[in-house]
A and B are shown apart, each in its own frame.
Chain A
Amino acid sequence: MIKKFSLAILLSCNFLFADSLYEFTSLENEKRFYNMIKEVRCPKCTSGSLASSNAPVSEDIKLKIVELIKDGKSDDEIKKYIVNRFGRDVLYDPSFDKSTYFLWTAPISILLLALIIFFFRRKV
């Protein structure tokens, strides 16, 4: 009986003392956090997201994101906070603005150009 009892306690240890590294007030916030750390690059790594990185600065940023989420900041505000400090290249999904319009439109415009040339050539 004692054996069984201690075995039961031993096996349940994992679940009794399991605690999450980051604390959130709601499931929604937790989801937001885990989505966000996949979209932000670790500034210390060559290429890797915050989620994939254990670098001290990544840990700090992750804790900061948790804190900002707790403060009720929106995703855009948090991203702005990180971009202001570590530069625009920390975002894996670059925003569409004056300096990136070429980046976003080049593939489509070159494809269109190629198609136009292709169809005109057929008629000749």
Chain B
Amino acid sequence: MKFILRTFVIILPVALISFFYIYINDNDYYPGADYRNYDIPQFELTELYSKTNISNEDLEGTYLINVWASWCITCRVEHGFLAKLSNQNIPIIGINYKDEREDAIKWINKFGDPYKLIIHDYKGSLALDMGVTGAPETFLISDGEVLVNYRGEVNNMIWQDVFIPVITKYELFK
């Protein structure tokens, strides 16, 4: 009996410590990043400049979706890096989030346009359906499926840590 007790006294803490060690060192965890896969929702909105209708069926292939707004300060910080990505021929689709059309166009004219296409989401309905909590947010999407969702500013470090592993895993942008 004493033997069982003694082994228990050793095994229990060791088991608990190793459990939490494994749990904490879970490599999938990165603050702000979400790797759940889900389909992009159906939507029917307009393009920012031309006001033509856009639905989820118009989006094809592999691309980034960036949620931004002219009132969003962090989006300005992020803008330079998005321009770099766009120069590397990575298609970025913008979702203009809860913003006035004129303000958004003024903002783009002032800071440059890294987007292939901008969807005007005035009420934030598409953003809510995609699980956006605020601007900026960036999604990596391939064939209508969200692979990564990052909440916050994307810079070189985030790009290398969060997006590049997934891009190499699925061999995207080739």
Nearest to B98 among chain A residues (CB) is A56
Is there an interface contact between B133 and A86, defined as CB atoms closer than 8 Å? yes
B residues in contact (CB < 8 Å) with A = 1-2, 5, 8, 12, 34, 36, 38, 98, 124, 128-134
The 6 A-B residue pairs with the shortest CB-CB distance, nearest first, are A85-B131, A43-B133, A44-B133, A57-B133, A60-B128, A86-B131
Is there an interface contact between B36 and A120, defined as CB atoms closer than 8 Å? no
Assembled-state Cα–Cα distance A101/B5 (Å)? 26
Assembled-state Cα–Cα distance A13/B103 (Å)? 39
Restricting to A16-39, which residues have a CB under 8 Å from any CB of B? none
Main secondary structure, interface of A, reads helix
List 8 A-B residue pairs with CB atoms under 8 Å apart, sorted by A's residue number: A44-B133, A55-B134, A57-B134, A60-B124, A84-B38, A84-B131, A85-B131, A120-B1
Task: Give min CB distance, B144 to chain A, whole Å.
Answer: 16
A residues in contact (CB < 8 Å) with B = 43-44, 55-57, 60-61, 64, 84-87, 113, 117, 120-121, 123-124
Is there an interface contact between A44 and B134, defined as CB atoms closer than 8 Å? yes
Is there an interface contact between B133 and A64, defined as CB atoms closer than 8 Å? no
Contacts A85-B128, A86-B133, A124-B1 known; 8 new A-B pairs at CB < 8 A: A55-B134, A56-B124, A57-B128, A60-B128, A84-B38, A86-B131, A87-B34, A117-B5
